[in-house]
Each structure stands twice: as structure tokens, then as C-alpha cells.
Amino acid sequence: MRADRLVATLLVLQARGRVTAAELAEELEVSVATARRDLESLSSAGIPVYPQAGRGGGWQLVGGARTDLSGLSASEARALFLLVGPAAAIAPEAKAALRKLVRALPETFRADARAAAEAVVIDTARWGARDRRRPALVDVLQGAVVLRRKVRLAYEGRARSERVVDPLGLVDKDDIWYLIAGTQRGRRTFRVERIVEAEVLAEPAERPADFDLAAAWAEVVEVVEGKRSLLSATVLIEDRFVPILRDHFGRHCQRLGVEEGWARVRVAAPTALDIARTLAGWGTQVEVVEPGAVRLELARIGAELAEHYAVLGEPRAEG
């Protein structure tokens, strides 16, 4: 029996005092038979859970088995170990929290809890790539967000600039960190690795009462993705290669149909040159149907390469 469900069962018993197997099954989204087996297993494991017969009966938790996790809902408890466990591998704070969390459980559940927490490993590096390091200023900026203090930034964009901002939240997207902040010109998004200096000021930051970080980031993503899909092209490629092509273009790759093993796919990027550069490495494995601008760019790239390597000739043998 999984530790996450055991914890969830305990929390339901703590919150309600007494439950039937049917009520527990509904709460945990399992069958009544599974809920009953769980309750019986709790009892046999030494947890003082006892069935009460008759009208108004059910299962009751009797003293001595309380934990320090009563602030969690059952659904939160089910997810907790699987979420905290992988994070503990890359964040010291999460590892410390996990140790405290396990100690809060009854002794009979601790081994299963550790197993659940160690069921997943997070490797943040892509194949052939190095691990990205968390920017040192993330902790400084996070502190400013929590304390609601203004921050003076030195930022390397197209040119170096300094400004005072109201930090609203941080976003980690594929190991690249962004700061969303209020400025004199409205809300702006800053790439944290381009922030050279960050000084937290004593002055309180202004934060809109209705600000929602997730919604604000969704707006940023929509704008950026819109700029990345200004031009689309239709290509033909063997259907088995579509997942690889989608890896190159991300969400801007849509399979339109498949015929005799060949897929018709729409891809998009800011310019015809951007699309051509991405497709050039495929050679004749990809055929661009339209637009003509992408076909012309591919022809130009091919001619440019042919001319360049024709001039270089065969490499000399070293003897």
C-alpha cells in the first residue's frame, strides 16, 4: 500500500473523526473495497484505527496517531511525497523539508514514505547539454518578492541600463529564470541571467491587489509565441520523423494529415530564413511545399555551402 495514500487516509480520519469505507473511497477516489483494505491495513500495522458497528458507525482514529500534517488535504497528501522527493535531489531546502515530513509520520509508514519520495529522479540537463546553474540572484529577487521591496537592477539588454522595479514574481521556464516586475513604463519581463546587479531597497514595492503570477506569465508566453510564429510553411516528411521535427519547432509544428507514410506538416517561425535554417540539416528528407520564400532560402543556403566547400577542395592528407 502506498505511503501517500496511507497519509491521506490518516488525514481524513483526523479531520472527520469517524468515516465509513464508502466516504473514504469517495474522498480518495478509490473503490470501497480498496478503502476498506487500507483501513484494515492501518489497524494491523499498529495504528489505533477501529471499526464501530451499528447506525452512525464507521472507522475511527483513537489518540496517539496524530501527525503534524493536518493542514493538508487528502489530495495534497497523495501528491506530496512524489513532488517533494524529486525536488530534494536538486534543492537542499526540499531535502531538509522531506526529512521533517518523514519524521512527522508514524514509524510504520516511514520506509514506504522514503520509497515513494525516491521513486523519481530529476535530471535537468538535456542529452548532450550541461546542467544549467541556478542564477545566484534568484534568491535575492525571491526575497524581494516575498518581502515586497523595490529592487534596483543593472540589466544587460541591447544596452546596459539601470532602473528601480517592483518585483512581482519569478518564473523558471526550462531552467531559464525570468523576473516579472512593475516599472514606470508598465509591467516588464527580465531574464535573470542578464541582470548584472540587484539591490533590494527599503522602499515597499507596489503590487496590484489582483495580480496573478500564472496569468501574467501566460500573457508573456502568448506574446512571445505569437512573435515566433509570424510565418508558417507546409512541408512533407516521413511520418516517423514528425516527433523529431516537433522537437525542433516545439508547439509550432502541426501534423495536418498522413498519406502513404508521408505527413503533411505545418511549421512556423519568425521569418523564412529561420524556418530554412532549421530545415536545412534535413536535406532532401524534408520537402517544402510552400511558401516560395522558404524554398528560395533553402536553395540559397545549399548553393552557399556548395560554393564554399568547392573552393576549399579535398583536405590534404597528413603524412
Shared-domain flag, residues 107 and 154: no
Query: What is the spatial distance between Cα 304 and Cα 284, in angstroms, rounded to a whole number?
Result: 16
With contact defined as beta carbons under 8 Å apart, do 241 and 259 qualify? no
Residues contacting 268, CB < 8 A, separation 6+: 228, 229, 230, 231, 232, 233, 249, 252, 253, 275
Task: Take residue 275 and report the three cell numbers written for it.
Answer: 524556418
In eight-state DSSP terms, residue 47 is -
Segment 16-29, tens digit of pLDDT: 778 888 888 888 88
Q: What percent of the chain has pLDDT over 70?
A: 70
The CATH code of the domain that includes 192 is 2.30.30.520
Shared-domain flag, residues 37 and 110: yes
Task: Take residue 178 and report the three cell numbers written for it.
Answer: 525570468
Count of structural domains within the chain: 3
Residue 134's pLDDT band (cuts 50, 70, 90): confident
Say if 4 falls within a structural domain.
yes
Domain boundary among 63, 91, 124: 124
With contact defined as beta carbons under 8 Å apart, do 32 and 22 qualify? yes
The CATH code of the domain that includes 297 is 3.30.70
Say if 217 falls within a structural domain.
no
Shared-domain flag, residues 99 and 162: no
Q: Which residues pair with 183 in a beta bridge?
A: 186
Residue 108's pLDDT band (cuts 50, 70, 90): low
List the single range of 56-65, 85-94, 156-165, 263-272 with lowest mean pLDDT.
85-94
Say if 130 falls within a structural domain.
no
The strand order across the sheet containing 286-290 reads: 253-259, 262-269, 231-238, 286-290
Shared-domain flag, residues 5 and 95: yes
Q: Please give the mean pLDDT across all residues of the chain.
A: 80
The mean per-residue pLDDT over the stretch 35-51 comes to 75
Long-range contacts of 164-167 (CB under 8 A, 24+ apart): 164/201, 165/190, 166/205, 166/206, 166/207, 167/141, 167/205
Residue 154's pLDDT band (cuts 50, 70, 90): very high
Shared-domain flag, residues 48 and 87: yes
Domain boundary among 146, 172, 207: 207
The mean per-residue pLDDT over the stretch 276-292 comes to 94
Long-range contacts of 16-22 (CB under 8 A, 24+ apart): 17/60, 17/61, 18/52, 18/57, 18/58, 18/59, 18/60, 19/58, 19/59, 20/57, 20/58, 20/59, 21/58, 21/59
Q: Which of 134, 136, 133, 144 is nearest to 199 (CA)?
A: 144
Domain that holds residue 150: 137-207
Shared-domain flag, residues 117 and 9: yes
Shared-domain flag, residues 157 and 67: no
The CATH code of the domain that includes 4 is 1.10.10.10
Say if 1 falls within a structural domain.
yes
Residue 119's pLDDT band (cuts 50, 70, 90): low
Shared-domain flag, residues 42 and 103: yes
